[in-house]
Structure 1
Amino acid sequence: MESSQHRGASPETQKTVRINIYRGDAEGGEFVEYDVPLVEGMVVLDAVLYVQAHISPDLAVRWNCKAAHCGSCGGEVNGRPKLLCKTRVDDYEGEEIRVSPMRAFPLIKDLVTDVSWNYEVARSIPEFKPAEKAPFTMYEEDVERLYEPKRCIECFLCQDVCHVLRSHHKHPAFAGPRFFAKIQSLEMHPMDTGHRTEYLKEGRGGIGFCNITKCCTEVCPEHINITDNSIIPLKERVVGDYYDPAKWLMRKIRGRRNGE
């Protein structure tokens, strides 16, 4: 492990920014301090990549497009889930900048976490079941409600900030906000005939754990209103299917018949 002080700027550089980056793996680690030349318009990912290129080449960081489209550079800045490529250094003028990996997922090394659990959840969601074979006709108002969740870039910041995963580690029983948005896009598709309320309440979804803090909506870089437009409508569907007396009775009857 390197020492806690590094000087990355040349003597001629007038301005530098001090950035503290978490260095370590699943066994443990610490924040290491680096001084990086300050460039106008610099984002946190720029500073991290400067450290990787000029000071500590073994620094592990995941990134791809550097344009806030791929979602791969998700991490935490001062404990808040952020895309590093979309987080400007000058927003923290006069503050300490601490860059760390997402806490909701297992740490691999430095700023890189293992997010493969999310893809396991995606595979568990009941698939789209069309009422008829494509192509089919859809009304514009039906299409519009599907646009918003489709903007998701799967950065998993909403998963990282969710206290059910971040603090209570309910990964085996809770799908998380990213996948509630995905389920909403299926449930509200006018051509879908699938039913996912059982998955949401009694299966892998676990939507009952969500207490609607709206933290997932707040961190979404695509400004998807996950809480109001995905989670709340899905909760309403669960309530309708499970607590409407007529539907409850029909489910009991169907259940007894299936067990005969």
Structure 2
Amino acid sequence: MSGYELKLRVWRGDRDGGDLADYTVDVSEGEVVLDALHRLQATQTGDLAIRWNCKAGKCGSCSAEINGRPRLLCMTRLSDFEPTETITVTPMRAFPVIRDLVTDVSFNYEKAKELPGVELGPRDADGKRRMAQVDIERGQEFRKCIECFLCQDTCHVVRDHEDNKPAFAGPRFFLRYAELDMHPLDTADRRARAQGAAGLGMCNITKCCTEVCPEGIKITDNAIIPMKERVVDRKYDPLVWLGNKIGLRSKDYDGRTEV
């Protein structure tokens, strides 16, 4: 099939409200949903707002929901759908709409500011720092994150409960907590912050974040669950409990001492 008329249903509106609008647009074999939207924008709706940049699945800009599923517009092929099917494109539901398919994702940047950065110990005697390759590889998977925020969008803790946002960082940042915690030279202890300020305990590991990650990062299995285990070790380890009882002190994540 060289080309056909695609039926598109696109959400149009702004922060004050909106609705779905139906369109028909010519598409060609091998194209993606973003191609169809660009052609629609060029031929029928010049004021359609879409956020995009690289069109290669690496910038994370074109996140939206296609037939109700959080996906990248540039990585969703039209061949995934039947030619007679209507493709519905809506903005990410977890974030406020700015206009059409563009949402305000500043919530994520505010959460990023709350996360303490890496804290390195002293250098070796020759002025260098050394890490074993196996330790470096542990966190390498997490660095593939393109910050598309699809995992944030699909997480029901923030998607369905707006009032949870102040107390819940979301899977993208639990991934970052885990990455820093696995850094072989990092000296900070972020477990108390992950449990408290970031709300790690509110995650019930449904793995919906893993399912929508375009980079295939196993967010739940390789980051969130191990981080939960570290938090539990810190909070309920009998040796830590005994040390607290007899008056030993331990450093908390921000350098304070706790009894």
Give TM-score scaled by structure 1 length: 0.90
Q: Which stretches of structure 1, 4 residues or longer, exceed 2 Å deviation after superposition?
A: 132-135, 248-255, 257-260
Q: Is residue 2:20 matched to residue 1:31?
A: yes
Structure 2 unaligned blocks of 5 or more: 251-255
Residue range with higher mean Cα deviation, 75-84 or 49-58: 49-58
Q: Structure 2 CA distance, aligned partners of 1:218 and 1:84?
A: 16
Aligned-partner residue type, residue 212 of structure 2: V
Residue range with higher mean Cα deviation, 136-145 or 245-254: 245-254
| Structure 1 residue matching 2:28: 3-state secondary structure | coil
Aligned-partner residue type, residue 208 of structure 2: C
Aligned-partner residue type, residue 58 of structure 2: H
Residue range with higher mean Cα deviation, 134-143 or 115-124: 134-143
Q: Structure 2 CA distance, aligned partners of 1:49 and 1:85?
A: 11
Q: Structure 1 CA distance, aligned partners of 2:28 and 2:168?
A: 42
The answer to whether the 8 Å contact 1:132/1:191 transfers is no
- The offset of 1:183, in angstroms, is 1.0
Against the structure 1 CA distance between its residues 177 and 259, is the aligned structure 2 distance closer, same or farther, given a 3 Å change threshold?
closer
Give TM-score scaled by structure 2 length: 0.90
- The offset of 1:249, in angstroms, is 4.4
What's the CA shift string for 1:157-208, capped at 9, x where partnerless? 00000000111221101111111111111000010000111111122x1011
The answer to whether the 8 Å contact 2:3/2:28 transfers is no
What's the CA shift string for 1:19-48, capped at 9, x where partnerless? 111000111101111111120111110111
Q: Structure 1 CA distance, aligned partners of 2:3 and 2:33?
A: 19
Q: Is residue 2:157 matched to residue 1:164?
A: yes
Aligned equivalent of 2:73: 84
- The offset of 1:259, in angstroms, is 8.5
Aligned equivalent of 1:226: 219
The answer to whether the 8 Å contact 2:66/2:88 transfers is yes
- The offset of 1:14, in angstroms, is 6.8
The answer to whether the 8 Å contact 2:6/2:86 transfers is no
Residue range with higher mean Cα deviation, 118-127 or 63-72: 118-127
In percent, how many aligned pairs have the same letter?
54
Aligned counterparts, 1:37-116, within 5 A: 37-93=26-82, 94-116=84-106
Candidates 176, 189, 193, aligned match of 1:195: 189
Q: Is residue 2:237 matched to residue 1:237?
A: no
- The offset of 1:51, in angstroms, is 1.2
Aligned-partner residue type, residue 165 of structure 1: V
| Structure 2 residue matching 1:33: 3-state secondary structure | strand
What's the CA shift string for 1:94-129, capped at 9, x where partnerless? 432100000111110000000011011111012210
Structure 1 unaligned blocks of 5 or more: 1-12
Against the structure 1 CA distance between its residues 54 and 135, is the aligned structure 2 distance closer, same or farther, given a 3 Å change threshold?
farther
Q: Structure 2 CA distance, aligned partners of 1:45 and 1:132?
A: 49
Aligned equivalent of 1:8: none
Q: Structure 1 CA distance, aligned partners of 2:3 and 2:188?
A: 62
The answer to whether the 8 Å contact 2:31/2:77 transfers is yes
- The offset of 1:135, in angstroms, is 3.9
Q: Is residue 2:136 matched to residue 1:143?
A: yes
The answer to whether the 8 Å contact 1:18/1:97 transfers is yes
CA RMSD of aligned residues (A): 1.9
